[in-house]
Amino acid sequence: MSKTITIDGLAVPFQEGQTIMDAALASGVYIPHLCHNPEFKPHGSCKLCTVNVNGRNVASCTMPAVEGQQVLSDIAELNADRLALTQMLFVEGNHLCPACEKTGNCQLQAVAYYLGMMSPHYNHFYPQREADASHPDVMLDRNRCIYCELCVRASREVDGKNVFGLSGRGIKTLLVVNSASGLLGDTDLAVTDKAAHVCPTGAILIKRHGYAVPIGQRVFDHITIKDVQTGGGDE
């Protein structure tokens, strides 16, 4: 006997233990998100997936689905706030979309497309963040990190290695790696690790694979992130 919640007027079934995001994705309802990846424990940090439940805003990736919840998601006000959050992510780092190897395959960029982002709106912070090319197979460019901790979670939960972690606080939060030198090359990260492949932006890149797929033929050049993440683009 399945229970249901309502998302933007649509009845969505769920099973006990599922979050609102789980239920939505299973039913092909897209709620924009960046730090969430169904393969990992929910995190709730990017806040793009914020929805309104019975009058209160909550992160849909961490909020358990409860029978009878009235969820508002695809509404103008929330989409405007999501757009603002996406713009914040762009200005706090140094994102170089036209020159980035991840362009067209980048979830941050794809969410920005989806939300209709036409400008960064806020003044850029231009932070000084270090790139790390010490690893033979994997490039780490902190300029593009959005602190979603997917690499942290993947390394811990799947690879059993704890290669990544966060240090610092507030706007000075920093992605750090598990070595005394602070260099990725001195960690036990392998190119085959899950952690090397989950980054939603171009912060973690596999070396020597540049432009294997030409620009114009990449995932989000053809279908929206909504269709990719809800399976809607395959038809």
Catalog residues that contact other proteins under the rule CB under 8 A: 42, 44-48, 50, 57, 59, 62, 64, 81, 84-85, 88-89, 91-92, 122-123, 125, 146-147, 162-174, 176-180
Q: At its nearest, how many Å lie between other proteins and the CB of residue 143?
A: 15
CB atoms within 10 A of CB 105: 18
Q: Are 16 and 5 in contact (CB under 8 A)?
A: no
Q: With respect to other proteins, which residue has the nearer C-beta, 85 or 219?
A: 85
Q: Are 128 and 193 in contact (CB under 8 A)?
A: no
Q: At its nearest, how many Å lie between other proteins and the CB of residue 8?
A: 18
Q: At its nearest, how many Å lie between other proteins and the CB of residue 141?
A: 18
Dist CA 79 CA 76 (whole Å): 5
Dist CA 119 CA 54 (whole Å): 32
Residue 74 corresponds to which amino acid? Answer: D
Q: With respect to other proteins, which residue has the nearer C-beta, 172 or 208?
A: 172
Q: With respect to other proteins, which residue has the nearer C-beta, 15 or 167?
A: 167
Q: At its nearest, how many Å lie between other proteins and the CB of residue 45?
A: 5
Backbone φ/ψ region at 47: left (φ over 0), alpha (ψ -120 to 50), beta: left
Largest CA distance in the chain: 55
CB atoms within 10 A of CB 84: 13
Q: With respect to other proteins, which residue has the nearer C-beta, 28 or 64?
A: 64
**Nearest in space to 148 (alpha carbons), one of 18, 25, 42:** 42
Q: At its nearest, how many Å lie between other proteins and the CB of residue 184?
A: 12
Q: With respect to other proteins, which residue has the nearer C-beta, 116 or 125?
A: 125
